[in-house]
Amino acid sequence: MRIGFIGLGNMGGPMALNLIKQGGHTLVVHDLRRELAKPHLDAGATWADSVADTARAGELIFTSLPGPAEVEAVALGKGGILENAQPGSIYADLSTNSPLVMRKIYAAFKAKGVHVLDSPISGGVIGARDGTVQVMVGGDEGVFNEVKGVLGAIGSNVGYMGAIGAGTVAKLVHNMISILSRALIAEGFTLGVKAGVKPEAILEALRGASFGKGYTLSHHIPDIVFKGDFDTVRFGLKLARKDVGLATALARELDVPMAMANVGEQLLVEAMSRGWGDKDSTAPWLIQEERAGVKVRATK
């Protein structure tokens, strides 16, 4: 396949190299800094002097750029991809973007007969280098199936998330959860260390218990939340409220700030005030669902 690749930075550079390594493709590459293309040119890629030249050369065009403003400019701006892509070609953005921007791009490209996928990735620079990132794809499913094999050179996990923008939404949800959960973990570690426990011991405890074993993602969400089965008690809400209360009480004794833990505790308190003490400890999901006006249920 003839592939155009725009953006050879920390993430884009390794991904483009992996496409070359996959074989069977002719790569044309472009970046504002030509020196970044040296490994790709050495591996057999062709340099393009502009976005326009890259777009004209590709049956499949990738961008890996810093954010929504850069993607919109490259995709829709003067001399950009829209002006130069061939009808029937496919444009896939690998950046962390805005779903609104991707839907705007999708509509503009559709009018010209060019397909669009939002295909953000997660896995960091190491994952991009090793080809082990998660690729979260939104767009027409038939188009996704056409390029799924190509995307397999970029990531070992390639998933179809839904209509255009769904890949970007999934990426933003992932990053929000991943980044903010670190703040709660930091609270826990500082509490434990200030209470006299060695940090490596806390790490060992976390790794060996339910949190470190990933039970939230492998069990709690699919088996409890998706099924709405909050009445079958695996670990009771009243016990969870007691345990969190003991932790925040210890933090107050030691003057350890626990902003996120205290907010979470109030959610448990609200659930208890509704008489849910005998439900499962995941029952506070129901409060968040009520606030958001949506139920998180799945049939598969």
171-292 carries CATH number 3.90.78.10: no
Q: Quick one: average pLDDT of 95-101?
A: 96
**pLDDT at 300 > cutoff 90:** no
**Average pLDDT of the segment spanning 238-244:** 97
What is the pLDDT, as a whole number, of residue 165?
97
Q: How far is CA 44 from CA 7, 17, 48, 153, 156, in A?
A: 17, 10, 13, 17, 23
Q: What is the mean pLDDT of residues 66-90?
A: 97
Query: Alpha-carbon distance 215 to 291, whole Å?
Result: 25
Which CATH code of 3.90.480.20, 3.50.50.60, 3.40.50.720, 2.130.10.10 fits the domain covering 2-163? 3.40.50.720
Q: Are 291 and 267 in contact (CB under 8 A)?
A: no
Told to judge if 171 belongs to the known catalytic residues of this protein, a careful annotator would answer yes
- Domain ranges across the chain: 2-163, 171-292
Catalytic residue selected from 21, 38, 171, 194: 171
Strand 121-122 with 134-138, pairing: antiparallel
